[in-house]
Structure 1
């Protein structure tokens, strides 16, 4: 599995960005992640569309979208489902219609494979979260088993700590003192 300090893999994938006919799809590439010197990226994966735990996570990330934006951080959600399945799910699920971030389609599973997050039997992505700095370097990785949802508040807490570029003690939260050496 790709780890901290490594460059996020190169990719070019279709993303779902809208429900408006004719404007549903765009292309996202790894170059976009490093095109702005100050923007961080949180890239999170779920196993399958039209399931039960996944929409709770996606909806929670969407609720926190403004908090990520306030931290100069883009959100990208992804699975190995196609862009058409993503679009159908968004149209079909009340909590997903108003998403403010793109849903990436990794139908070839090449990006999930490069990241090392493919579950070996079903070849679906684990619940993986990557925080990527503006230079495209992975700064945090968290991976959950298929049946356990992640904690969006923890992702924000870690992002805050990384963005201080200082030493942050256990249970540190934004606004608290960092450590001095």
Structure 2
């Protein structure tokens, strides 16, 4: 798995930000420019743990935007599957951040997060700085959901460029 200090790989994928083909667009690293990127992969659409995480990240989208960070979801499902799931799940319908369709599993493979046995991406989260350097990376088992609030806390800490103690939160003293 790519880790802290590695350059986030280049990609060209379809991004889905709604439920119709009009909400499909081509996306690359350049699309998101010189801002922080929160890229999180889930195993597959139409599952049980994944929507809890996606909705959890979605609830914090404004907080990420306030920190000049774009939220980017991804899985190895197709753009049409993403759109169908967004349209059929009440917790996902209102979300506006893009979901990348890594159907060829190219980005997941480059990142080293492809679960070969299951044929899907593992749950992985990357915080990528404006220069496209990975500043945080985590991967969990397929059965364990993440904590989006912790991702936001880590972004806050990274953006201080200071030493931040255990359980530090924005506004607290750094070391």
Alignment TM-score, normalising by the size of structure 1: 0.94
Aligned partners of 2:21, 2:142: CA distance in 1, in Å?
34
Tell me the equivalent position of 1:23.
22
1:22 Cα deviation from its structure 2 partner: 4.7
Q: Which runs of 4+ in 1 moved over 6 A?
A: none
Tell me the equivalent position of 1:5.
5
Say whether the 8 Å CA contact 1:40–1:132 is kept in structure 2: yes
1:24 Cα deviation from its structure 2 partner: 1.9
Aligned partners of 1:4, 1:47: CA distance in 2, in Å?
22
Tell me the equivalent position of 2:111.
115
Match of 2:67 among 54, 71, 87: 71
| Residues 105-131 of structure 1: per-residue CA shift (max 9 Å, x gap) | 000000000000011212200110000
1:93-132 matches, cutoff 5 A: 93-132=89-128
SS of the equivalent of 1:74 reads strand
**Runs of 5+ consecutive residues of structure 2 not aligned to the other structure:** none
| Residues 96-151 of structure 1: per-residue CA shift (max 9 Å, x gap) | 11112001100000000000001121220011000000000000001110000000
CA RMSD of aligned residues (A): 0.9
Match of 1:142 among 111, 128, 138: 138
Say whether the 8 Å CA contact 1:82–1:105 is kept in structure 2: yes
SS of the equivalent of 2:70 reads strand
Say whether the 8 Å CA contact 2:18–2:86 is kept in structure 1: no
Matched pairs, number: 175
1:44-59 matches, cutoff 5 A: 44-59=40-55
1:172 partnered with 2:174: no
SS of the equivalent of 2:40 reads strand
